[in-house]
A and B are shown apart, each in its own frame.
Chain A
Amino acid sequence: MSTKNFLFVNRKAPYGTVYALEALEVVLISAAFEQNVSLAFIDDGVYQITKGQNSKATGMKNFSPTFRALGDYDITKLYVSIESLAERGLTVDDLMELTYEDADDDYAEKPSIILVNREEMAAMMTEQEVILSF
Protein backbone atom coordinates (compact mmCIF):
# COMPACT_ATOMS: atom_id res chain seq x y z
CA MET A 1 0.00 0.00 0.00
CA SER A 2 1.32 3.42 -0.93
CA THR A 3 2.35 6.09 1.54
CA LYS A 4 0.57 9.43 1.56
CA ASN A 5 0.83 12.63 3.56
CA PHE A 6 -2.11 12.59 5.99
CA LEU A 7 -3.04 15.70 7.97
CA PHE A 8 -5.53 15.70 10.82
CA VAL A 9 -6.83 19.20 11.52
CA ASN A 10 -8.07 19.60 15.08
CA ARG A 11 -10.27 22.68 15.40
CA LYS A 12 -12.45 22.00 18.43
CA ALA A 13 -12.07 22.04 22.22
CA PRO A 14 -11.33 18.66 23.82
CA TYR A 15 -14.55 18.48 25.81
CA GLY A 16 -18.10 19.69 25.15
CA THR A 17 -18.33 17.64 21.96
CA VAL A 18 -16.92 14.24 21.01
CA TYR A 19 -15.09 15.46 17.89
CA ALA A 20 -11.63 15.70 19.48
CA LEU A 21 -11.78 12.30 21.18
CA GLU A 22 -13.02 10.50 18.07
CA ALA A 23 -10.50 12.37 15.89
CA LEU A 24 -7.68 11.02 18.04
CA GLU A 25 -9.05 7.51 17.52
CA VAL A 26 -8.65 7.96 13.76
CA VAL A 27 -5.12 9.31 14.22
CA LEU A 28 -4.11 6.20 16.18
CA ILE A 29 -5.57 3.87 13.54
CA SER A 30 -3.78 5.75 10.75
CA ALA A 31 -0.47 5.03 12.46
CA ALA A 32 -1.01 1.31 11.80
CA PHE A 33 -1.12 2.02 8.04
CA GLU A 34 2.41 3.47 8.02
CA GLN A 35 1.40 6.75 6.48
CA ASN A 36 3.20 10.09 6.84
CA VAL A 37 0.91 11.58 9.49
CA SER A 38 0.87 15.16 10.77
CA LEU A 39 -1.53 16.94 13.10
CA ALA A 40 -2.58 20.59 13.09
CA PHE A 41 -4.14 22.44 16.01
CA ILE A 42 -6.06 25.59 15.17
CA ASP A 43 -8.88 27.62 16.76
CA ASP A 44 -10.15 25.97 19.98
CA GLY A 45 -8.25 22.83 18.93
CA VAL A 46 -5.17 24.24 20.70
CA TYR A 47 -6.92 23.49 24.02
CA GLN A 48 -6.61 19.76 23.23
CA ILE A 49 -2.91 19.77 24.05
CA THR A 50 -2.89 22.14 27.03
CA LYS A 51 -1.34 20.69 30.17
CA GLY A 52 -3.06 20.06 33.49
CA GLN A 53 -6.40 19.03 32.01
CA ASN A 54 -8.95 17.76 34.53
CA SER A 55 -12.25 16.72 33.00
CA LYS A 56 -13.50 14.80 36.03
CA ALA A 57 -16.45 17.07 36.84
CA THR A 58 -17.73 16.89 33.25
CA GLY A 59 -17.99 13.08 33.29
CA MET A 60 -15.94 12.94 30.09
CA LYS A 61 -12.67 11.01 29.99
CA ASN A 62 -9.45 13.05 30.09
CA PHE A 63 -7.80 11.66 26.97
CA SER A 64 -4.96 14.20 26.81
CA PRO A 65 -2.31 11.66 28.02
CA THR A 66 -2.86 9.82 24.72
CA PHE A 67 -1.13 12.68 22.89
CA ARG A 68 2.08 11.76 24.75
CA ALA A 69 2.01 8.33 23.08
CA LEU A 70 1.94 9.69 19.52
CA GLY A 71 5.74 9.85 19.32
CA ASP A 72 5.89 6.09 19.86
CA TYR A 73 3.60 5.70 16.82
CA ASP A 74 6.01 7.77 14.68
CA ILE A 75 3.59 10.71 14.68
CA THR A 76 6.08 13.46 15.36
CA LYS A 77 4.78 16.58 13.63
CA LEU A 78 2.19 18.56 15.60
CA TYR A 79 1.70 21.98 14.00
CA VAL A 80 0.20 24.54 16.39
CA SER A 81 -1.19 27.88 15.28
CA ILE A 82 0.61 30.78 16.98
CA GLU A 83 -2.36 33.06 16.33
CA SER A 84 -4.87 30.61 17.83
CA LEU A 85 -2.74 30.39 20.99
CA ALA A 86 -2.41 34.17 21.25
CA GLU A 87 -6.13 34.78 20.64
CA ARG A 88 -6.85 32.60 23.69
CA GLY A 89 -4.19 34.10 25.94
CA LEU A 90 -2.09 30.96 25.71
CA THR A 91 1.62 30.44 25.11
CA VAL A 92 3.67 27.33 24.36
CA ASP A 93 4.29 27.07 28.13
CA ASP A 94 0.60 26.19 28.56
CA LEU A 95 0.99 23.15 26.29
CA MET A 96 2.06 19.64 27.23
CA GLU A 97 5.68 18.79 26.50
CA LEU A 98 5.15 16.39 23.62
CA THR A 99 8.30 14.74 22.34
CA TYR A 100 9.56 11.84 20.25
CA GLU A 101 12.78 9.85 20.07
CA ASP A 102 14.56 10.48 16.78
CA ALA A 103 15.72 7.10 15.46
CA ASP A 104 18.00 8.87 12.93
CA ASP A 105 19.78 10.84 15.66
CA ASP A 106 20.73 8.21 18.28
CA TYR A 107 17.20 8.35 19.73
CA ALA A 108 17.61 11.90 20.96
CA GLU A 109 14.43 13.28 22.50
CA LYS A 110 13.02 16.07 20.36
CA PRO A 111 9.91 18.27 20.57
CA SER A 112 6.92 17.24 18.43
CA ILE A 113 5.22 20.64 18.68
CA ILE A 114 6.01 23.00 15.82
CA LEU A 115 4.69 26.54 16.25
CA VAL A 116 3.63 28.06 12.94
CA ASN A 117 1.88 31.22 11.83
CA ARG A 118 -1.11 31.15 9.47
CA GLU A 119 1.04 31.56 6.38
CA GLU A 120 3.27 28.65 7.38
CA MET A 121 0.22 26.55 8.32
CA ALA A 122 -1.27 27.19 4.87
CA ALA A 123 2.01 26.28 3.14
CA MET A 124 2.22 23.03 5.17
CA MET A 125 -1.35 22.16 4.16
CA THR A 126 -0.54 22.47 0.46
CA GLU A 127 1.98 19.62 0.90
CA GLN A 128 -0.71 17.26 2.21
CA GLU A 129 -2.55 14.66 0.15
CA VAL A 130 -5.30 13.61 2.56
CA ILE A 131 -6.72 16.19 4.98
CA LEU A 132 -9.25 15.18 7.62
CA SER A 133 -10.81 18.10 9.46
CA PHE A 134 -12.38 17.65 12.89
Chain B
Amino acid sequence: MKYTIMVNEGPYQHQSADTALQFTRAALEKGHEIFRVFFYHDGVNNGTRLSVPPADDRLIQKSWSELAEKHGLDLVICIAAAQRRGLMDADEAKRQGLDANNIAPGFRISGLGQLVEGGIQSDRLVVFGD
Protein backbone atom coordinates (compact mmCIF):
# COMPACT_ATOMS: atom_id res chain seq x y z
CA MET B 1 0.00 0.00 0.00
CA LYS B 2 1.10 3.58 -0.67
CA TYR B 3 1.22 5.85 2.37
CA THR B 4 1.70 9.52 3.08
CA ILE B 5 2.66 10.24 6.68
CA MET B 6 1.88 13.52 8.43
CA VAL B 7 3.90 14.41 11.55
CA ASN B 8 2.37 17.18 13.63
CA GLU B 9 4.29 17.15 16.91
CA GLY B 10 7.85 17.98 17.88
CA PRO B 11 10.58 15.46 18.76
CA TYR B 12 11.09 14.65 22.48
CA GLN B 13 8.02 16.77 23.32
CA HIS B 14 5.40 14.29 22.14
CA GLN B 15 5.18 10.53 21.68
CA SER B 16 3.58 10.94 18.26
CA ALA B 17 6.95 12.06 16.79
CA ASP B 18 8.43 8.68 17.83
CA THR B 19 5.35 6.75 16.73
CA ALA B 20 5.44 8.34 13.27
CA LEU B 21 9.06 7.28 12.87
CA GLN B 22 8.34 3.74 14.11
CA PHE B 23 5.26 3.41 11.88
CA THR B 24 7.20 4.58 8.82
CA ARG B 25 10.04 2.14 9.56
CA ALA B 26 7.59 -0.75 10.10
CA ALA B 27 5.68 0.04 6.90
CA LEU B 28 8.90 0.00 4.88
CA GLU B 29 9.98 -3.28 6.47
CA LYS B 30 6.63 -4.81 5.44
CA GLY B 31 7.26 -3.74 1.84
CA HIS B 32 4.86 -0.79 1.71
CA GLU B 33 5.64 2.38 -0.20
CA ILE B 34 6.01 5.71 1.58
CA PHE B 35 5.02 8.36 -0.97
CA ARG B 36 5.99 11.22 1.33
CA VAL B 37 6.45 12.24 4.96
CA PHE B 38 5.10 15.72 5.63
CA PHE B 39 6.07 17.68 8.76
CA TYR B 40 3.66 20.31 10.06
CA HIS B 41 2.98 22.34 13.22
CA ASP B 42 5.82 21.70 15.73
CA GLY B 43 6.53 18.55 13.72
CA VAL B 44 8.87 20.67 11.58
CA ASN B 45 11.37 20.44 14.45
CA ASN B 46 11.95 16.80 13.51
CA GLY B 47 14.00 18.24 10.66
CA THR B 48 16.66 20.19 12.54
CA ARG B 49 20.24 18.94 12.40
CA LEU B 50 21.19 20.92 15.54
CA SER B 51 19.51 18.66 18.08
CA VAL B 52 21.85 17.27 20.74
CA PRO B 53 19.91 15.01 23.12
CA PRO B 54 21.60 13.41 26.16
CA ALA B 55 23.89 10.49 25.28
CA ASP B 56 21.49 7.84 26.63
CA ASP B 57 18.50 9.16 24.65
CA ARG B 58 17.31 8.19 21.16
CA LEU B 59 18.21 10.31 18.12
CA ILE B 60 14.95 11.15 16.43
CA GLN B 61 16.05 13.63 13.76
CA LYS B 62 19.10 11.56 12.83
CA SER B 63 16.91 8.46 12.53
CA TRP B 64 14.74 10.23 9.94
CA SER B 65 17.83 11.26 7.96
CA GLU B 66 19.19 7.70 8.03
CA LEU B 67 15.82 6.24 7.03
CA ALA B 68 15.60 8.74 4.16
CA GLU B 69 19.03 7.82 2.90
CA LYS B 70 18.36 4.09 3.11
CA HIS B 71 14.94 4.15 1.44
CA GLY B 72 15.01 7.36 -0.61
CA LEU B 73 12.23 8.89 1.48
CA ASP B 74 10.77 12.25 0.55
CA LEU B 75 10.83 14.21 3.84
CA VAL B 76 9.04 17.53 3.39
CA ILE B 77 8.92 20.34 5.94
CA CYS B 78 6.10 22.85 5.53
CA ILE B 79 7.61 26.21 4.67
CA ALA B 80 4.98 28.33 6.46
CA ALA B 81 5.27 26.30 9.68
CA ALA B 82 9.07 26.22 9.35
CA GLN B 83 9.42 29.96 8.93
CA ARG B 84 7.41 30.59 12.10
CA ARG B 85 9.61 28.21 14.07
CA GLY B 86 13.06 29.02 12.66
CA LEU B 87 13.70 25.97 10.46
CA MET B 88 15.82 27.06 7.50
CA ASP B 89 17.63 25.53 4.59
CA ALA B 90 20.57 27.36 3.04
CA ASP B 91 18.55 28.90 0.19
CA GLU B 92 15.78 30.15 2.45
CA ALA B 93 18.25 31.55 5.00
CA LYS B 94 19.96 33.47 2.24
CA ARG B 95 16.66 34.75 0.88
CA GLN B 96 15.62 35.94 4.36
CA GLY B 97 19.04 37.47 5.04
CA LEU B 98 19.68 35.15 7.99
CA ASP B 99 23.12 34.05 9.21
CA ALA B 100 22.46 30.31 9.67
CA ASN B 101 20.56 27.29 8.47
CA ASN B 102 19.65 24.14 10.39
CA ILE B 103 17.85 21.65 8.15
CA ALA B 104 18.91 18.01 8.53
CA PRO B 105 20.13 15.84 5.62
CA GLY B 106 17.35 14.19 3.63
CA PHE B 107 14.77 16.89 4.42
CA ARG B 108 13.52 19.56 2.05
CA ILE B 109 11.31 22.60 2.61
CA SER B 110 8.21 23.05 0.48
CA GLY B 111 4.57 24.12 0.55
CA LEU B 112 1.33 22.68 1.93
CA GLY B 113 0.36 21.59 -1.56
CA GLN B 114 2.80 18.72 -1.05
CA LEU B 115 0.59 17.44 1.78
CA VAL B 116 -2.62 17.69 -0.25
CA GLU B 117 -0.90 15.96 -3.17
CA GLY B 118 0.17 13.21 -0.77
CA GLY B 119 -3.47 12.71 0.23
CA ILE B 120 -4.54 12.49 -3.39
CA GLN B 121 -1.72 10.20 -4.59
CA SER B 122 -1.61 7.76 -1.65
CA ASP B 123 -3.92 4.95 -0.60
CA ARG B 124 -3.75 6.16 3.01
CA LEU B 125 -2.78 9.42 4.69
CA VAL B 126 -1.87 8.73 8.30
CA VAL B 127 -1.76 11.66 10.74
CA PHE B 128 0.43 11.53 13.85
CA GLY B 129 -0.44 14.31 16.25
CA ASP B 130 -2.10 15.36 19.48
Contact = CB atoms under 8 A, between A and B. Distances in A.
B125 interface: yes
Interface stretch (A25-33, A70-78, A94-102, A106-114): A25-33
A26 B115 contact: yes
A132 B127 contact: yes
Interface residues of A, number: 19
A32 B117 CA distance: 11
A6 B112 contact: no
Interface residues of B, number: 19
B127 A4 contact: no
Contacts of A26: 40, 112, 115-116
A69 interface: no
Nearest to B84: A18
A1 B119 CA distance: 11
Given A4-B120, A35-B116, A133-B127, A22 B81 contact: yes
Contacts of A134: 8, 129
Given A29-B111, A33-B113, A1 B127 contact: no
Interface in B85-130: 111-113, 115-117, 119-120, 125, 127, 129-130
A62 B53 CA distance: 37
A6 to B, nearest CB: 6
B73 interface: no
B6 A33 contact: no
A130 interface: yes
B80 interface: yes
B25 interface: no
A133 to B, nearest CB: 5
Interface of A: 1-2, 4, 6, 18-19, 22, 25-26, 29-30, 32-33, 35, 130-134
24 contacts: A1-B117, A2-B120, A6-B119, A18-B84, A19-B41, A22-B80, A25-B112, A26-B40, A29-B112, A30-B116, A32-B113, A33-B116, A33-B120, A35-B116, A35-B119, A130-B119, A130-B120, A130-B125, A131-B125, A131-B127, A132-B119, A132-B125, A133-B127, A134-B129
Given A18-B41, A29-B112, A131-B127, 20 more contacts: A2-B120, A4-B119, A18-B84, A22-B40, A22-B81, A26-B115, A29-B113, A30-B116, A32-B113, A33-B116, A33-B117, A35-B120, A130-B120, A130-B125, A131-B125, A132-B119, A132-B125, A133-B127, A133-B129, A134-B129
